[in-house]
A and B are shown apart, each in its own frame.
Chain A
Amino acid sequence: MSAYGDMRRYLNLTYIIWVTAIITLIITVAYPLFMLIYRSLFTGSQLTLGAYKKMIEDPHTLEYTLNTLKLGVLATLFSILVGVPLAWIVTRTDIPLKNLIKTLAILPFIFPPYIGAIAWIQLAAPYIGYINRISRALGFGDIVNIYSFWGLVLVMSLRYYVYVFLTTRAALEQMDPSLEEAARMSGARMLKVAKDITLPLVTPSITSGALLTFVAACANFGIPALIGERARYYVLTTKIYSVLAIPDLDRATAYSMILLLITGIALFIQRRAFKGKKFTTITGRTARPSVALLGKWRIPILVLLLVFLILASVIPLISLIISAFLKNIAGSPLDPNNLTLENFRKVLFVDRDTTIAVRISLFSALISATVITLFGALLAYIIVKTRIRGRLFLDWLSSVPYALPGTVVAVAIIFGFIKTPIFNTIWIIPFAYFVRYLSYGVRTTIGSLLQIDPSLEEASRMSGANWLTTMKNIVLPLIKPGLIAGWILVFMPTLSELTVSIILYPPNMPTIGVATFNLMDAGYYTWAYALSSIVVFIVVICHLILRKITGKFGVRGF
């Protein structure tokens, strides 16, 4: 076998893989989106611009759009208010217990957003929420009603501030410390250094995180569906869901296009405007950044921070789990007669919807995680290790469905695949998950592959091994932990997913997320809490496993 022959066959194989990948992506990503846009312009085969006409005629379009934007903007503002100081305190001061704070800070991220909404509902519902009951007992009367615009903003911000925290923290950690030291030598005090030097240089990262928050807040379904409906605050995602039930496809398309536009613009700004920023402050130096001494403020600020973080993330979850053991939610959790395992029994073994949901979600999550990991690894390999033209397009294409709102992706899938045999069968769910979460698998494997210095593979080839043997003996073992981590990172969100499955699930075949949502919707609160607690439990277990494998906390959403 000549070297040239080997090379040619290798190129052919890679080419075949590349073509397969492109075709798969076109079918699963480009085609449904194209159908969505097509449907917005054509009804049947006539260019009626039906969706756009509906957009203009419908008196509510403006209201829903503005509501979505208002919610997005305010959630972003609060996220900045929380995320930036948190990041600064964690990277630039000598506050103790930094690891604990970092863990608590990203805690909201590992659970699906609707869990947070459910947790806050049972904490802050009018009349029977714990907060109101406690404040009544103290004589203050009812003080909160989660079913309000501000309730929405609260839950949204507490979930998505993590984006801002993470991007800001990364920028602060990577910034060249001598820039701040020079300012101190020039006479500037700690806060002035932060204002004049640190802040301007970190602003691009803050903005990047803020835009991610904005997109996520506009695209979320679970939180406005559970909280906003009763507050009579309607946004595009919840309205798309409602009108699809009628079914009013024109309106659904119209709202989807608006949502697509909003998130598309925001993402475009986020990717372009901050890529080639000239403030290249990232250096390879491992010097530690200068740290401000908090002095006598150390303990008070620590206490304040911990209280805030625990109140924001831990308390809602704990009270959710406690409530899952209640017979009657109006009763007291301290009353032993009110405690029961019945909710869990009902949910896991008795109720048809929930028992089948658990099986469907397990099934879908297992399949999509496995297929995504394999296919994603394939794509990642092409993107990282080959020089085929168009591989960056491959990367971009696979990441589109994750960047877009899940609701829009679901609607696009309806338009693309309603006439296909998989529609309205159980297979539509893992298929939709594949489309939406493929980029997870691609991203994590790309990360693992990039960590392998090409010289490792080259040494193997110099030692006489061909491409396949090198893959088997060198590359695969090195990326195995990455692949497993990637598998878990897809398994977790697909197991508990709501946004896409609520729109696509076939009759009588709900997923765990859908079943939980339906239980809340129908007022079977304690059952919903029980199912949610099970989700929380599974997510925590998966995360601990992930941590063991990767040595650091895997983050949902990145």
Chain B
Amino acid sequence: MTEVKLVNLTKKFGDVVAVDHINLHIRDKEFMTLLGPSGCGKTTTLRMIAGLEIPTEGEIYLGDWLVSAPAKGVYVPPEKRNIGMVFQNYAVWPHMTVFDNVAYPLKIKKVPKDEIRRKVMEVLELVRLKGLENRYPHQLSGGQQQRVALARALVMEPEVLLLDEPLSNLDAKLREEMRFEVKDLQRKIGVTIVYVTHDQAEAMAMSDRIAVMNQGRIHQVGTPLEIYTRPADAFVAGFIGLANFIKFDDVKIEGDKAEVTLFNGSIKLNCAPPLKRSSKLILMVRPSEIDILKNSQPNTVEGVVKRATFLGDIVDYLVQVGDQEIRVQTRQTMLFNIEEKVYLKINRGVLVGL
């Protein structure tokens, strides 16, 4: 069983709190992504799991093994944790061949030579680098170097694999390809993955669960669907996909149902109650969940088009309704011009705390 448990994990650099008492339970064989903007603490968290940083407070468990607990004086150095790590800039050693790079962890463990050979070739085949084992890193492309880094991390048959923004240095097309490859690999091998990225699309595409972080705290942990459809707060909502935050007049919450009144009663909407109790609530509506109509209909509100951008199969509108600006994305082929009067219909919304 290789789950990773972070208990009250904190890291301070001087007065700056980079990671603020986070709790996270990563399940066995799960693909968990730490997602957030720069400086949110995700990389620091990852490095603490690796052992490259020492926590200020808190505990880290690998399975049942306590590897980090400053209060108890426990600290297992990274070389002893048997964790594979892929770095953002690959960190492939320039003075060793591909083979030697990948074989290195096995050499450390004093694995016999022929077994090293077998394992290395196996994993090179897995990452589709077979035939290049005698090349030097400067003779490989960026994508190939990344795969060498991956192979090196996998060859030690780790139970946990850490990846620190590994695809951010690749071009867009390669990045997409590699996403599928990495996900495939994980399924084949069955290793627990902790993945760090600031790219929301990447996180959604690859993860079993996502932990959305900001300023050292975890805002929400959930599957991509959960996070997208039921964001816990305004930050998560805004970070994952586009979001409108609309002030409402009134809300009635009964059990697992909520009814929201908007725009002086023009619109009444049924939606889910907020995930987190909060004194300040706001209605989050995705631009794709709004219809834009030419004529008035029941449960619509009037507005004026302020901006219209034709993006091919989508049209992006900014509509002024009262004192709020609402963004709408729609597939309708009908085009509205600026200053034209339109009517908006909200199909779905989520209540979130600010």
Contacts and interface: CB of A to CB of B under 8 A. Distances in A.
In the complex, are there CB atoms of A and B closer than 8 Å? yes
Interface of A: 176, 178-179, 181-189, 192, 196-197, 200-201, 278-281, 283, 285, 290
A182 B94 contact: no
B78 A182 contact: no
Given A184-B79, A185-B84, A280 B94 contact: yes
A185 B104 contact: no
Contacts of A201: 93-95
6 contacts: A182-B87, A184-B51, A185-B84, A185-B153, A186-B105, A197-B93
A281 B137 CA distance: 12
B173 interface: no
A-B pairs, 4 with minimum CB distance: A186-B105, A178-B91, A182-B91, A185-B85
Contacts of B92: 182
Interface centre among B78, B88, B153 (most CB of A within 10 A): B78
Given A179-B93, A200-B95, A281-B94, A187 B109 contact: yes
B153 A184 contact: no
Contacts of A196: 104
Specify which of A185, A196, A280, A290 lies most central, judged by the most chain B CB atoms within 10 Å of its CB. A185
Nearest to A188: B108
A278 B89 contact: no
A287 to B, nearest CB: 10
Contact of B52 (A179, A283, A290): A290
B94 A181 contact: no
Interface string B119-149: 0000000000000000000100000000001
B82 interface: yes
B198 interface: no
A186 B87 CA distance: 12
A279 B94 CA distance: 6
A188 B149 contact: no
Contacts of B85: 181-182, 185
Contact of B79 (A178, A179, A185, A197): A185
B156 A187 contact: yes
A182 B149 contact: yes
**Residue of B80, B108, B149 with highest tally of chain A CB at under 10 A:** B108
B129 to A, nearest CB: 17
Contacts of A184: 51-52, 77-79
A176 B149 CA distance: 15
A138 to B, nearest CB: 45
Contacts of A278: 94, 138
A174 to B, nearest CB: 14
A120 B91 CA distance: 47
Contacts of A186: 79, 104-105, 108, 152, 156
B50 interface: yes
Given A176-B91, A187-B79, A188-B79, A182 B152 contact: yes
B79 A189 contact: yes
Interface in B90-118: 91-95, 104-105, 108-109
B40 interface: no
Interface residues of B, number: 29
B346 to A, nearest CB: 46
A282 to B, nearest CB: 12
A181 B46 CA distance: 13
B83 interface: yes
Contacts of A189: 77, 79
A212 to B, nearest CB: 23
Contacts of B108: 186-188, 192
Interface of B: 50-52, 77-80, 82-85, 87-89, 91-95, 104-105, 108-109, 138, 149, 152-153, 156, 162
Contact of A176 (B80, B83, B89): B89
A294 to B, nearest CB: 13
A298 to B, nearest CB: 15
Nearest to B52: A181
A182 to B, nearest CB: 4
Contacts of B104: 183, 186, 188, 196
A312 B152 CA distance: 45
A172 to B, nearest CB: 15
Given A185-B153, A200-B95, A278-B138, A178 B87 contact: yes
A187 B82 contact: yes
A281 B138 CA distance: 11
Contacts of A185: 50, 52, 78-79, 83-85, 153, 162
Nearest to A293: B77
Nearest to A185: B85
Given A178-B87, A182-B92, 5 more contacts: A181-B85, A185-B78, A187-B82, A188-B108, A192-B108
B306 to A, nearest CB: 37
A60 B109 CA distance: 57
A196 B91 CA distance: 14
B89 A283 contact: yes
Contact of B91 (A179, A188, A192, A200): A179
B156 to A, nearest CB: 7
Contacts of A181: 50, 52, 78, 85, 87, 91
Contacts of A200: 95
Nearest to A179: B91
Contacts of B162: 185
Contacts of B52: 181, 184-185, 290
Contacts of B105: 186-187
Nearest to A281: B94
A279 B153 contact: no
B241 to A, nearest CB: 31
A3 to B, nearest CB: 42
A389 B224 CA distance: 61
A297 B92 CA distance: 31
A32 to B, nearest CB: 43
